[in-house]
Amino acid sequence: MPEPDEWLMQQVAKGAASHLDTLLRRHARGILTFATRLLGSAHRAEEILQETFIAIWTHRSTYRYPNYFRPWLFKIAHNKCRSLMRPHDFLHNAADINSETTFNQDPASPTPHDIAIAAETSTLVQTALQRLPMQQRTVLVMRVYNAMSYTEIAESLALAEPTVRSTMHQALANLRRYLEPRMR
């Protein structure tokens, strides 16, 4: 049975760099998804991933075992994303994000028409996501794309759980308002 993240991070805090590699392998995809959806750029997300794990190593002594690792990790990644974002820095090149999901499909099953519709829908959803206020976007990405619980999100963002739930509700309502007239 694999060691829990919290135990691994405790070892990293003691200086065991090899355990950081295990944590990186476990969580790289989640952080990349989170940062890509938050920033709208796969390239910038890769930078965030690197900076996040460098920060974990640099600030390893601040981790307090047995606190949950995943919220702590996403809090660091969120702070790194926020530091990269400029005011009104949205509506990035959605093709950067969509290229992975659109063209890595099994070529035998979807038709070119299906691929075009999927790409257009994905671009539309990404645009809607980028238009959300930062806090709504962050909560939605953590919940939908990273399958984080409301408790984990609240801990990561230093918010009360009811606030996170309310923010998620607002984010979904805003997405619906944007997408409904465009997806008819």
Task: Domain 1-89: give its CATH code.
Answer: 1.10.1740.10
Identify the band that residue 183 occupies on the pLDDT scale cut at 50, 70 and 90: confident
Most confident of 79-88, 124-133, 152-161: 152-161
Q: Which residue has the higher pLDDT, 88 or 159?
A: 159
Q: Which of 142, 146, 42, 32 is nearest to 92 (CA)?
A: 42
Note the pLDDT of residue 115. Answer: 73
Q: What is the C-alpha R_g of the chain?
A: 18
Note the pLDDT of residue 121. Answer: 75
The answer, yes or no, to whether residue 108 has pLDDT greater than 60, is no
**Could you tell me the pTM of the whole model?**
0.76
The answer, yes or no, to whether residue 63 has pLDDT greater than 90, is yes
Note the pLDDT of residue 113. Answer: 65
